[in-house]
C-alpha cells in the first residue's frame, strides 16, 4: 500500500495565541489536500486555541515537544495526557534545536517515544547530521545511531505508525535545502536501517519526511522521491506559501 504523505509545520517559538488563531484562519482554506496528512505543530500555549480553530478542517494538531513522565514535579514540562486532552495527535520529538540548546539525548528521546505510544500520540522523531559530520563522511553512521537508540524497545507495530523527520542541521533555517539526491539518499538509508532493526514490512510502512528550508519551489521535487513521504517545514509553515507546499502535487 502506498504511504500517505505527511506534511507538518513546525511553528517553533512563534505566534502568540491570538496570532496563532489568525494564522490558522488564513491557512485553513489553503491547506486542503486529501492526498496528504496535514499537521500544525504549535507552541504549547497555542494548542488549545489552534485545536478549536482547526475544528471541521483537515488540519491535525501537533505539539513540538513532550516530557516522558506522566505527571508531577517537573516544572515547566508538558505531559502526554495534557496533549491528548487538548486534542493533539502528533508530537515532534528530538528536534535538533531541542538536542542542541536543551541537551536532549537519544536516550531521553527513546523514553519520550515510548511514552508517546502509551498515549496513542504519533511521534515525529527528528534526526540529522551537522555540517561537520557530513564533511567527515559519518552522516549515515550518526543517523543510524539516532534512529536505533530512538526506536529501542518499540514494537514493529509501533514503528510502523511512527514518523521520522530527516533534518540535516545545516539545512534548518539556513535557506540551504539539501539537494533531492542528498535527501533521498539519507531517507533511503533510514528506511534500510528500519528494515534491519525490524523487517521489510515495517520499513515499507514507516513514513520518513525531509526537513530543512523546504519551500514552495523545492517541495514537489523532494516529495516525489521514492523514500521521502512529505516534509517537516519550519519558516515556510508560517506563510501562505505553506498552502503551496501542502499542494505540491497540484
- Asked if residues 178 and 139 have their Cβ atoms less than 8 Å apart, the reply is no
Fill in the per-residue mask, 126 to 165: x = in contact with ligand PEP (CB under 6 A), - = not in contact: ----------------------------------------
Residue 167 appears among annotated catalytic residues: yes
H-type helices in the chain, by residue range?
17-27, 47-54, 80-85, 96-102, 106-118, 131-136, 139-150, 156-161, 180-197, 200-205, 219-223, 241-246
Q: Helix 180-197 vs helix 139-150: angle between axes, to the nearest 10 degrees? A: 40
For 94, list phi and psi in degrees, rounded to 5: 75, 30
Closest to ligand PEP by CB, 172 or 246: 172
By CB under 6 A, the count of residues binding ligand PEP is 14
Residue 22 CB, shortest distance to ligand PEP, in Å, is: 20
Rounded Cα gap, residues 108 and 149, in angstroms: 10
Residues paired with residue 90 on neighbouring β-strands, in sequence order: 62, 122
Residue 177 CB, shortest distance to ligand PEP, in Å, is: 8
Rounded Cα gap, residues 156 and 93, in angstroms: 19
Q: Does the protein bind ligand PEP through residue 167 (CB under 6 A)?
A: yes
In the region spanning residues 211 to 250, those forming contacts with ligand PEP, defined by CB under 6 A, are 211-214, 232-236
Closest to ligand PEP by CB, 198 or 210: 210
Residue 210 CB, shortest distance to ligand PEP, in Å, is: 9
Residue 95 appears among annotated catalytic residues: yes
Distances (CA, A) of 28 to 88, 142, 214: 17, 38, 20
Closest to ligand PEP by CB, 12 or 99: 12
Give the DSSP letter of residue 2.
Answer: P
Closest to ligand PEP by CB, 203 or 232: 232
Kindly list the residues in this chain that would bind ligand PEP in the complex (CB under 6 A): 10, 12, 167, 172-173, 211-214, 232-236
Q: Which residues are catalytic?
A: 95, 167
Amino acid at each position: 500500500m502506498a504511504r500517505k504523505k505527511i506534511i507538518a509545520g513546525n511553528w517553533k517559538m512563534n505566534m502568540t495565541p491570538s496570532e496563532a488563531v489568525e494564522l490558522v484562519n488564513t491557512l485553513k482554506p489553503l491547506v486542503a489536500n486529501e492526498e496528504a496528512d496535514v499537521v500544525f505543530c504549535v507552541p504549547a500555549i497555542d494548542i488549545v486555541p489552534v485545536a478549536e480553530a482547526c475544528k471541521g478542517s483537515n488540519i491535525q494538531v501537533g505539539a513540538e515537544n513532550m516530557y516522558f513522565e506522566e505527571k508531577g514535579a517537573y516544572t515547566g514540562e508538558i505531559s502526554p495526557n495534557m496533549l491528548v486532552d487538548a486534542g493533539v495527535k502528533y508530537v515532534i520529538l528530538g528536534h535538533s534545536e531541542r538536542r542542541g540548546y536543551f541537551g536532549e539525548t537519544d536516550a531521553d528521546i527513546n523514553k519520550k517515544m515510548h511514552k508517546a505510544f502509551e498515549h496513542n500520540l504519533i511521534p515525529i522523531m527528528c534526526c540529522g547530521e551537522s555540517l561537520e559530520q557530513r564533511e567527515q563522511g559519518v552522516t549515515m553512521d550518526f543517523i543510524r545511531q539516532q534512529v536505533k537508540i530512538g526506536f529501542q524497545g518499540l514494537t514493529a507495530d509501533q514503528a510502523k505508525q511512527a514518523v521520522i523527520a530527516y533534518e540535516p542541521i545545516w539545512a534548518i533555517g539556513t535557506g540551504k535545502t539539501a539537494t533531492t539526491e542528498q535527501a533521498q539518499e539519507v531517507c533511503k538509508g533510514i528506511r534500510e536501517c528500519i528494515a534491519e532493526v525490524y523487517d521489510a514490512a515495517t520499513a515499507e510502512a514507516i513514513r520518513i519526511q525531509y526537513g530543512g528550508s523546504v519551500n514552495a519551489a523545492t517541495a514537489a521535487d523532494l516529495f516525489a522521491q521514492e523514500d521521502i513521504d512529505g516534509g517537516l517545514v519550519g519558516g515556510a509553515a508560517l506563510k501562505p506559501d505553506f498552502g503551496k507546499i501542502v499542494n505540491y502535487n497540484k
